[in-house]
Amino acid sequence: MSSNVTAKALLKKTTSVSRVMKSLSHPVRLKVLCSLLEGEQGVNELAQFCEISQSAMSQFLKRMKTEGILSCRREHHFVFYKISDKKLTQLLLAVKKIYC
């Protein structure tokens, strides 16, 4: 029975890791996450950094928020995004150290 519990726990984690790795596999999403390592930012700032339209950036951010990768806060008419998981931040810092 304990191996069945371990298999379920492993399956749950692999699904979570797979979701994160999928986000890292897209160049724009990876740029967004690297930019957010510097702290929370708004849609316009991220769109400018990634050199895409505001509407395209909004779609990327909405998807990443839905996936639980980003969280946001609203201040008046502005929405600011940040990385929601400290483990993801650690992973990104490791990737940055290796590749940058």
pLDDT in tens, 49-68: 999 999 999 999 999 999 89
Q: Measure the CA–CA gap between 59 and 90, rounded to whole angstroms.
A: 25
pLDDT at residue number 82: 98
Model confidence at 3, pLDDT cuts 50, 70, 90, reads low
Average pLDDT over residues 21-39: 93
Residue 52: give the domain boundaries.
2-99
Q: Give all strands of the β-sheet with 78-83 in edge-to-edge order.
A: 41-42, 78-83, 70-75
Model confidence at 1, pLDDT cuts 50, 70, 90, reads very low
- The total of structural domains in the chain comes to 1
- Report which DSSP code applies to 69: S
Give the Cβ contact number of residue 33 at 10 Å.
Answer: 23
DSSP reduced 3-state for 73:
strand
We report the CATH number of the domain holding residue 83 as: 1.10.10.10
pTM (2 decimals)? 0.83
pLDDT at residue number 50: 97
